[in-house]
């Protein structure tokens, strides 16, 4: 699913934020990505969801070398990836339901089926009473759950999440992790960047550990 070989990455002419990173993740795996703030977790995720290309080394995604991938093929590849951003990236003029429905509409889903499916997922994440709420009327935790629902609504082949439980309480965080595990059981490869030690202890998935831009190890 994902393979990194001696990958380095820098922004512009600055220093490398990732150095000699090598690992591979098989299809259907579930990994936590951990490390202190500034270790490079978000930069590593950016390479995985094709927002950035490596400065050096090889990144292979779905069996394709991303450095040589033609630009016109990127959108189709990105549609196989669900991403949960730290800053949510919701569209302010769209309701919770329409934000979550957007990937399905882009894919050409029928409107009647779409609304029922989206409403069911929003109810599952505790937002059944906020289907028509605009992002500005929702709390940070509610916005985060909308963003998570939008990322998983298409059952992506690869789900990448940057601190997905950072704005919710522990109970909701555990429920969201169970949702990610259910997706994983259906075949989705999952990578979650988190600082939450309680979740790491409760959900015993393998860890990729970043330290100062290097992969310092993995723990079972």
Q: Please list, in sequence order, all residues whose beta carbon lies within 8 angstroms of the beta carbon of residue 202, skipping any fewer than 6 positions away.
A: 174, 177
Q: What digits encode the pLDDT tens for the residues 73-84?
A: 988 898 899 998
Q: What digits encode the pLDDT tens for the residues 94-149?
A: 999 999 999 999 888 888 888 889 999 999 888 999 999 999 999 988 998 899 99
Give the integer Cα–Cα distance in Å for 60 and 43.
Answer: 16
Residues 33, 192: contact at Cβ < 8 Å? yes
Q: Quick check: pTM over 0.75?
A: yes
Q: How far is CA 107 from CA 19, 65, 153, 160, in A?
A: 37, 25, 12, 20
Structural domain boundaries in the chain: 90-155
Give the integer Cα–Cα distance in Å for 114 and 108.
Answer: 10
- Which regions of 49-157 does DSSP assign to beta strands (E)? 56-61, 64-65, 81-84
Closest residue by Cα to residue 210 from 17, 77, 65, 27: 17
């Amino acid at each position: 699913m994902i393979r990194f070989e001696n990958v380095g990455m820098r922004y512009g002419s600055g220093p490398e934020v990732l150095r000699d990173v090598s690992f591979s993740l098989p299809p259907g795996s579930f990994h936590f990505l951990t490390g202190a703030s500034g270790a490079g977790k978000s930069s590593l995720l950016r390479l995985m969801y094709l927002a950035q290309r490596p400065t050096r080394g090889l990144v292979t995604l779905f069996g394709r070398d991303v450095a040589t991938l033609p630009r016109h093929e990127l959108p189709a590849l990105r549609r196989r990836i669900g991403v949960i951003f730290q800053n949510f990236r919701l569209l302010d003029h769209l309701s919770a339901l329409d934000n979550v429905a957007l990937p399905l509409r882009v894919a050409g889903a029928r409107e009647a089926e779409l609304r029922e499916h989206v409403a069911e997922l929003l109810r599952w994440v505790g937002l059944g009473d906020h289907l028509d709420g605009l992002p500005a009327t929702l709390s940070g935790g509610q916005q985060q759950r909308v963003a998570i629902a939008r990322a998983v609504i298409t059952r992506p082949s690869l789900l990448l999440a940057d601190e997905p439980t950072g704005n919710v309480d522990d109970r909701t965080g555990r429920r969201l992790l169970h949702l990610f595990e259910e997706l994983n059981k259906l075949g989705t490869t999952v990578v979650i960047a988190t600082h939450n030690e309680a979740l790491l202890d409760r959900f015993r998935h393998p860890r990729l550990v970043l330290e100062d831009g290097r992969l310092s190890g993995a723990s079972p």
